[in-house]
Amino acid sequence: MNSTIKKSMVKGLGIGIGLMFLSSFNHANAQVVDKGWKQLFNGKDINNFEQVGPGKHYVEDGTIRSHGGMGLLYWKGGKLSNCTIKVVYQMQKSNSNSGVFIRIPLEPREPWMPVFYGYEVQIDNHPETSNEDEYHVTGTLYSLTKPLAKPGKPGPEWNTMEITLDGPRTIVYVNGEKVTDYKEGDPTPERKFDFEPYHGIRPNAGWFGLQNHGDDDIVYFKEVAIKPLKKK
């Protein structure tokens, strides 16, 4: 075996070992990233969810999509508390309207009880187009909290929203920036529209779901996950 062949074999072996190490490293990192998260959407079906109200949700290309509205797709697994809810979403248009409902006191049977008695974590980067103010922008508790930042990305970019339910405290991050930090009983502005939520204390534990606002406001969800908070 000549020296040229030997060098080629050694070089090839080195590349192979390097690729194996890189693959192992990436796999380990993926496990770390996913550690603690329970995926509620498997990318194939929405059997763990239930639709209430007009319209429907369905799965296409690994994402939850909707038609018609206004309705709500709620998770049937029970009430959530002391956890973080993560959704990864994309607006169909440059701007679309949807929301993640939390702290719903009763299992939904129609879409308006969650609107009035739960909280909607809003998805809408430009509420001014509907004659609404910044209390209705992405990441706020709809009509109740003023945004600490406005990091929502337009379609077709993907956004990551993390909603932490820590006892009576609700914290919302969008794309890594804190938008809301609200504790039950904090002051809120006066109710302006009849479709806004009623004021009052929400429960620490509640149902949650995804809104389908209508055919002109479609948002795709490719990840829905929860992770319990570490015990203090």
Would you say residue 17 has pLDDT above 80?
A: no
Q: Which amino acid is at 52?
A: V
pLDDT for residue 15: 43
Instruction: Supply 135's token pair.
Output: 């209390």
What are the start-end ranges of the H helices in 112-159?
112-117
**pTM, rounded to two decimals:** 0.85
**N- to C-terminal Cα separation, the chain:** 65
pLDDT tens per residue across span 20-66: 444 444 444 433 446 799 999 999 999 999 999 999 999 999 999 99
Q: How far is it, in rounded angstroms, from Cα 187 to Cα 15?
A: 61
> Which residue bears the tokens 């999509």?
65
For residues 71, 137, 105, 202, the Cα torsion angle rounded to the nearest 10 degrees is: -170
Instruction: Supply 205's token pair.
Output: 């534990």
pLDDT for residue 224: 98
CATH tag, 38-228 = 2.60.120.560
pLDDT for residue 25: 40
pLDDT tens per residue across span 204-222: 999 999 999 999 999 999 9
pLDDT for residue 167: 98
Higher pLDDT, 9 or 197: 197
pLDDT tens per residue across span 173-185: 999 999 999 999 9
> Which residue bears the tokens 């994402």?
63
pLDDT for residue 34: 67
> Which residue bears the tokens 């973080």?
84
Bond from prior residue into 20 cis (ω within 30 degrees of 0) = no
Report domain extents, the chain.
1-35, 38-228
pLDDT for residue 232: 72
Q: Which amino acid is at 95?
A: N
